[in-house]
Amino acid sequence: TQLDLIRNFSIVAHIDHGKSTLADRLIQMTGTVAARDMKAQMLDSMDIERERGITIKANTVRIEYPAKDGKTYILNLIDTPGHVDFAYEVSRSMRAVEGSLLVVDASQGVEAQTLANVYQALDAGHEIVPVLNKIDLPAAEPDRIRQQIEDVIGLDASDAVLISAKSGLGIPEVLEAIVTRLPPPKGDRDAPLKAMLVDSWYDAYLGVVVMVRIMDGVMKKGDRVRMMQTNAVYGIDKLAVLKPEMRDIAELGPGEIGIFTASIKQVRDTRVGDTITHERKGCTEALPGFKPAQPVVFCGLFPVDANEFENLRDAIEKLSLNDASFSTEMETSAALGFGFRCGFLGLLHLEVIRDRLEREYDIDLITTAPSVVFKLHMKDGTVQDLHNPADMPDLTYVDHIEEPRIKATIMVPDDYLGDVLKLCQDRRGIQMDLSYAGSRAMVVYDLPLAEVVFDFYDRLKSVTQGYASFDYTISEYREDFLVKMSILVNEEPVDALSMMVHRDRAEARGRAMVEKLKDLIPRHMFKIPIQAAIGARVIARETLSAMRKDVTAKCYGGDASRKKKLLEKQKAGKKRMRQFGKVEIPQEAFISALKMD
Ligand code: GTP
C-alpha cells in the first residue's frame, strides 16, 4: 500500500469516556465487520475486560475507508490500554502510530488519565484530533470542555469534532478528520527490514502471535527474521492483518501493522518494544528506547486448599505464557504452605490476574499483603531488592532502606478537595502542586507507592463518592525510616502477615492489626496472645481468651478417676496444640487483617 493512503492512530481517553464505543462505531460504519457479527465492544476480547469495562491488552483493527476525496484509505487503529498499570504498553503502542484521537466526555471534561495519556501521545510526537463525546447528554457542555482542553492541556480544540459514539452522530466527521488531519506514516521500502514488536499474545490454536509495525523494508511469509534483543531467529509461518479477525496477507510494507506467527514457544521469548529485522542483510541499528516492563507490586498467592497447589502451578504457567510482565517464583510460608510470589505492574494488574486464576482456573486463593520493592542498602555496601517482607534480613546488616515514591495526579471537584488532601497527608504524601480548571481542582502529590498499594484507590473513591480521578508515575527511590513489622500469633511469627511500615506509623498499624485478628481468630482451648513486633520489641498486644469447655460437667459426681483422666486428656490436647504452635487461623483473616481503616 502507498504510504499516503495509510493512517495509523490510537484513541486516548480517560476510562469510561467512550473509547471502546467509538472504536466499535468506526468499525461498524466502515463495514469492517458485518452488522450481524458486531458485538458491543468488539476490541475488548477477554471476558474479564468486558465485565470490568477495562481494556487490558493492546488490540488492533485494520479498517478500509473510502474517503470524500475518492481514494480508499487503510486506517489502522491500535487500541491502547487506558490504565496506568499498563503505561508501558501504552507508550509502546503509541510509538507505532502517528496520530491520536483524544476523546473527552463532554459532560465530564478532562480527567487524570486524559492528561497522562495525552502527554504520552504528545511525547510520541503525535498529531492529535480532539473529539468531544456524549454530546447527546443533557449535561454535555462542549464549549466549556473545549476551553478546558485548551487551558489544561494547551491543545487547540477550536475544531474538535463533536460526536455521540452511542447514537453514531459525528462518526463520518471523525473518519474524515483521521484522513485529512493525521499525517501518513513515513518509511523506506528499499531499506533493510526494521519492524517494531508492538504486542504479543498466546493463541490456543496458533501459539504465540506477534504484532508488528513495519518502519522500513518489507516482511513476507517465509522470511527468516531476527529479534534484535534476544538474537533469536524464526521463520515466519503466517502473516496476516486483523480486521479484526485474521486475514492472511502476502507482505507487509512500511507503515503497515499486522501480525505473524513463527513457532515461537512462549510469549516470554518476545519482548514488546524489540526490533525485528531479517536474519540476512538486516538493519544494524535497533529502534530506540527499548525497556522491559518492570513489576512494581508483589504479593504471595497460595491455594486455600493445599491439594490445589499443582493446579495453581499449571494455571500460573499458562497465564505467564500470555503475559510477560507478570513474574512468578515459588514461595513457602510456614502459615500458608506452598505458593507463589508474583510480581505485577500495579494493583489493577494484580486484581486482573487473581480474578483470572479464580475464575478461569477455578482455584480459591489467599492473597498476602501487596508489597512494593524496597532497596536495602547493606552495611557491606551492596544493595539488595526486597520483594517479600518475610525475607527482611537482620537490621544489624542494613544501613538504610529506600522505597519507591510516585508522582500522583488527582483531579477532583472542589467540594471534596479537603478530604483528598487529608487522605494524601495521612499516607505520608507531600503536596507538590495545586491548580484549578473551572470548579475542578488538580493536585499533584509525592507519595510512597507502599501507601498506595493497599487501599488508596478504594479510599479515594469513597471519600469523593467516585468523583476523583487518579493517575501516577513512579518517580524515584528515596530513603525513609522503614521497619519490618511482624505479627506473632501464640508467640509464633506468621510470615504471611508481616509487612514493611514507616516507623512512625508502626504502633497504629500494629494495634489495628492485632485488634482485627482478635476478632478474626476463633477461640481455642487455650489463651492466645496476638502481638505486633518490630524485631524483638512488641509494640501492640491483644489476648484471645481460652474457650473453657467444662469437660467434667457430664461426670455426675462420684467417679474421681474418670474425672482425672478427662482432665489429663484435656491438658494433653492443650499441650499438643502449644507444642506445634497450632492455632487455627481462618483463611479470610489473611485478607481482612490487611485492609486498613
Ligand atoms: P474503557 O474501555 O473502560 O476505557 O472505557 P471506554 O472509554 O472505552 O468507555 P466505553 O466505550 O466503554 O463507554 C463508557 C460508557 O459510556 C458506556 O456505558 C457507554 O455506553 C457510554 N457512552 C459511550 N459513548 C456515549 C455517548 O456518546 N453518549 C452516551 N450517552 N453514552 C455513551
Judge whether residue 577 has pLDDT over 80: no
Q: Rounded to 5, what percent of the chain is helix, strand, coil? A: 30, 35, 35
Judge whether residue 65 has pLDDT over 90: yes
Residues in the annotated binding site for GTP: 16-21, 133-136
Residues in the annotated binding site: 16-21, 133-136
Digit-coded pLDDT (tens) for 259-271: 999 999 877 788 8
Judge whether residue 53 has pLDDT over 70: no
Q: Is the CB of 16 under 6 A from ligand 1?
A: yes
In sequence order, what are the beta bridge partners of 376?
Answer: 384, 401
Question: For residue 475, what pLDDT is reported?
Answer: 86
Question: For residue 205, what pLDDT is reported?
Answer: 81
Digit-coded pLDDT (tens) for 513-559: 899 888 888 888 888 899 999 988 999 999 988 876 655 555 455 55
Å from CA of 18 to ligand 1 middle: 3
In sequence order, what are the beta bridge partners of 234?
Answer: 225
Q: Which is the closest atom of ligand 1 to the Cα of 163?
A: 27
Q: Is the CB of 82 under 6 A from ligand 1?
A: yes
Tell me how far apart the alpha carbons of residues 108 and 125 are, in angstroms, rounded to a whole number: 26
Question: For residue 400, what pLDDT is reported?
Answer: 95
Judge whether residue 82 has pLDDT over 80: no
Rounded to two decimals, the ipTM of the complex is: 0.97
Question: For residue 151, what pLDDT is reported?
Answer: 87
User: In angstroms, how far is CA 463 from the centroid of its own chain?
Assistant: 23
Å from CA of 17 to ligand 1 middle: 5
- Cβ atoms 324, 268 nearer than 8 A: yes
Tell me how far apart the alpha carbons of residues 399 and 378 are, in angstroms, rounded to a whole number: 5
Judge whether residue 16 has pLDDT over 70: yes
pLDDT band at 584 (very low <50, low <70, confident <90, very high): confident
Question: For residue 499, what pLDDT is reported?
Answer: 87
Å from CA of 191 to ligand 1 middle: 42
In sequence order, what are the beta bridge partners of 169?
Answer: 164
Judge whether residue 55 has pLDDT over 50: no
Q: Which residue has the cell 539488595?
A: 384
Helix axes 417-426, 456-463, angle to 10 degrees: 160
Judge whether residue 376 has pLDDT over 70: yes
Judge whether residue 43 has pLDDT over 60: no
Q: What is the sign, positive or negative, of the torsion defined by CA atoms of 66, 69, 73, 75?
A: negative
Task: Count CB atoms within 10 A of the CB of residue 95.
Answer: 20
Digit-coded pLDDT (tens) for 188-227: 999 999 999 988 887 778 888 899 999 999 999 999 999 9
Lowest mean pLDDT among 117-131, 262-276, 396-410, 425-439: 262-276
Å from CA of 164 to ligand 1 middle: 10
Question: For residue 54, what pLDDT is reported?
Answer: 39
Q: Is the CB of 15 under 6 A from ligand 1?
A: yes
Question: For residue 81, what pLDDT is reported?
Answer: 61
Tell me how far apart the alpha carbons of residues 556 and 563 are, in angstroms, rounded to a whole number: 10
Tell me how far apart the alpha carbons of residues 216 and 286 are, in angstroms, rounded to a whole number: 12
Helices (H) and strands (E) in the chain, counts: 14, 32
Ligand 1 pocket test, pick from 131, 166, 471 with the greatest ligand atom count within 8 Å of Cβ, gives 166
Quick one: cell of 302? Answer: 497460595
pLDDT band at 582 (very low <50, low <70, confident <90, very high): low
Q: Is the CB of 48 under 6 A from ligand 1?
A: no
pTM of the model: 0.70
In sequence order, what are the beta bridge partners of 437?
Answer: 440
Tell me how far apart the alpha carbons of residues 61 and 63 are, in angstroms, rounded to a whole number: 6
Digit-coded pLDDT (tens) for 351-361: 888 888 888 88
Judge whether residue 34 has pLDDT over 60: no
Q: Is the CB of 165 under 6 A from ligand 1?
A: yes
Q: Which is the closest atom of ligand 1 to the Cα of 82?
A: 4
Q: Is the CB of 113 under 6 A from ligand 1?
A: no
Judge whether residue 129 has pLDDT over 50: yes
193, with CB counted inside 10 A (0-12, 13-18, 19+), is: buried
Lowest mean pLDDT among 228-232, 260-264, 285-289, 414-418: 285-289
- Helix (H, G, I), strand (E, B), or coil: what is residue 147? helix
Å from CA of 74 to ligand 1 middle: 25
Digit-coded pLDDT (tens) for 302-346: 888 888 899 999 888 877 766 667 788 888 877 678 899 998 877
Q: Is the CB of 13 under 6 A from ligand 1?
A: yes
Tell me how far apart the alpha carbons of residues 63 and 69 are, in angstroms, rounded to a whole number: 17
Ligand 1 pocket test, pick from 15, 20, 110 with the greatest ligand atom count within 8 Å of Cβ, gives 20
Question: For residue 51, what pLDDT is reported?
Answer: 45
**Mean pLDDT across the chain, nearest whole number?**
84
Q: Is the CB of 200 under 6 A from ligand 1?
A: no
> Of the segments 250-254, 273-277, 489-493, 524-528, which one has the largest average pLDDT value?
250-254
Q: Which is the closest atom of ligand 1 to the Cα of 133?
A: 27
CA distances from 68 to 71, 172, 241 (A): 7, 10, 25
Å from CA of 15 to ligand 1 middle: 8
Residue 288 preceded by cis peptide, ω within 30: no
Cα angle, residue 343 at apex, residues 377 and 467 outer, rounded to 5°: 105
Q: Which residue has the cell 521463520?
A: 235
Helix axes 171-181, 19-29, angle to 10 degrees: 90
- Cβ atoms 100, 121 nearer than 8 A: yes
Q: Which residue has the cell 463525546?
A: 133
Ligand 1 pocket test, pick from 16, 28, 104 with the greatest ligand atom count within 8 Å of Cβ, gives 16
Task: Count CB atoms within 10 A of the CB of residue 584.
Answer: 10
Quick one: cell of 408? Answer: 500522583
Question: For residue 259, what pLDDT is reported?
Answer: 93
pLDDT band at 245 (very low <50, low <70, confident <90, very high): confident
Question: For residue 573, what pLDDT is reported?
Answer: 44
Q: Is the CB of 133 under 6 A from ligand 1?
A: yes
Quick one: cell of 151? Answer: 487551558
Judge whether residue 347 has pLDDT over 80: no
Question: For residue 262, what pLDDT is reported?
Answer: 94
Judge whether residue 174 has pLDDT over 90: yes
pLDDT band at 3 (very low <50, low <70, confident <90, very high): very high
Q: Which is the closest atom of ligand 1 to the Cα of 53?
A: 3
Lowest mean pLDDT among 449-453, 471-475, 503-507, 572-576: 572-576
Residue bearing the CA closest to ligand 1, atom 4? 15
Q: Which is the closest atom of ligand 1 to the Cα of 103?
A: 7
Residue bearing the CA closest to ligand 1, atom 28? 134
Tell me how far apart the alpha carbons of residues 248 and 400 are, in angstroms, rounded to a whole number: 57
Reference 271, options 221, 316, 324; nearest CA is 324
